[in-house]
Chains A and B, each alone.
Chain A
């Protein structure tokens, strides 16, 4: 029997996004509100001056939170419905499963992303180069958060803790660091703490690309190196430590 990889990926998207959104439309609203709420606050407080930076922050938060949400969603499906057990004993492998589930998280975030992309088109007017930089950084962030999310989900056996942990990671990496506003607003020594999060480097690259901060070329290169190396390390750890089959 010839098996379709495309079908296997679509199954995850249907289960973890489409069917949930179709059968429980309220989830659409909640997925939109989180990234937009902070954007409104920053925009109003800065009298509109930081709207562009806040839009980029909203994009970073949406992509990062989507990946991290994978942790609680997979954990929920694994522990409450025993879905992962059924999938492990089937022709679907872990890579296909997680790819589909990650794609589902993006599909789930489409309402929020659509609003943010429209806002970005209106207020940021990104050039092609800026567009490529922003897209690449956002995809890197997403890859990192998916790797963390999947790895943690395979260890989790308690859904309450899983949801709490996902919210905590989202706060620590996508809300607390200066992603909605430039790092120059963060006073010393707190900015050193901010650099512990890879999202700070991502935001610095994006804010620099769109002219919200002015940093040297060396600093920009360093930001890229830190971001890419962090991504590689986290993905390596995730690949090595993820438990698809129990031991």
Chain B
């Protein structure tokens, strides 16, 4: 645990940003909705609550359900979880002091300004009016929203509205922040601006992020989990995911190149004619030597999260079908 001093003008309760490094543990979490749809299936995971964790998966994989359960908004059907030693079912009130969430599809209330939005959320968390006002100003300034502080949310761009919501939760003392698809619908520039903000936040808080932008997870997260049909298929750092993957390297060949024989590989050709060979380290380097000797142009890179995701999700689906 370490303490980072803040401005002295705010009462002692808000002076210290306390970062508690602990763990987030889910044990056998299952959620079956009333329409019998099983959104989470016996999910078990353990994470350190530090930095940024990204949960990736296709639409309907169960990402939002997991976030809502962890943020104490939704009851699991069975199983349990705890965050930094606080049980989500038994110690809800205590946990709610430490967490904050920006839900999927959350929007800044249109008849309010960013300053009013942040301030009212802090009041809801029990801050005094004076502290809420000071912290709202600070948070908006940190997010680069000072010039928009008194503009109606209705008149802000999509990216700015998202930043307002993130400024809202991060103005609080919450140590654990859940962001459910925070960049969905944003243009590439706004998305990258938001990444910068999230990177900074990840230095002082634990950010639990869900996304279906794989590049986002790759850019931001120290640890990544892959969810499919309510099951956690894989979890680890990007290099751990690569290591656990059947293939570690991707070799790309230009159109009309004769593809050499390769062992232990998956070969695909795109519509543009580019051939991708995903294979293990040994085979990738054998192939690289061979292609060099034949003076064939090619590129060789470690597999991307995209490749891992498509391999893991696709392969595990095949496994399930075979089973």
- A interface, CB within 8 angstroms of B: 1-5, 7-8, 10-12, 14-15, 19-20, 23-24, 77, 80-83, 85-93, 97, 245-247
Contacts and interface: CB of A to CB of B under 8 A. Distances in A.
B124 A92 contact: yes
A89 B97 contact: no
Interface string B115-144: 010011101111111001000000000000
Interface string B35-78: 00000000000000000000000000000000010011111000
Contacts of B103: 82, 85-86
Nearest to B104: A82
A89 B72 contact: yes
Contacts of A19: 111-112, 116, 120
Which 9 interchain pairs have the tightest Cβ spacing?
A3-B126, A11-B123, A82-B106, A89-B71, A1-B13, A82-B103, A85-B103, A11-B124, A7-B123
B178 interface: yes
B16 to A, nearest CB: 10
B125 A90 contact: yes
Interface of B: 13-14, 68, 71-75, 93, 96-97, 99-109, 111-113, 116, 119-121, 123-129, 132, 152, 168-169, 172-173, 178
A81 B168 CA distance: 13
B129 A91 contact: no
Contact of A85 (B68, B97, B125, B172): B68
A83 B127 CA distance: 18
B106 A81 contact: yes
B64 to A, nearest CB: 10
B248 to A, nearest CB: 39
A86 B125 contact: no
A8 B96 CA distance: 14
B13 A91 contact: no
A82 B105 contact: yes
Contacts of A15: 109, 112, 116, 120
A77 B103 CA distance: 13
Given A82-B103, A82-B106, A88-B73, A8 B111 contact: no
A89 B13 CA distance: 20
B73 A89 contact: yes
Given A80-B107, A81-B107, A245 B125 contact: no
Nearest to B154: A23
A21 to B, nearest CB: 9
B111 A11 contact: no
A88 B121 contact: no
| Residue among A7, A14, A89, A92 with max Cβ neighbours from chain B (10 Å) | A89
A246 B124 contact: no
Contacts of B113: 23
B121 A82 contact: no
B72 A86 contact: no
A91 B96 CA distance: 5
Nearest to A5: B126
A11 B99 contact: no
Contacts of A81: 106-109
Contacts of A7: 123-124, 126-129, 132
Nearest to A85: B103
A29 to B, nearest CB: 15
B109 A83 contact: yes
Nearest to B13: A1
Contacts of B72: 88-89, 245
B264 to A, nearest CB: 46
A20 B123 CA distance: 17
Contacts of A86: 100-103, 106, 121, 168-169
A85 B101 contact: yes
Contacts of A1: 13-14, 97, 126, 173
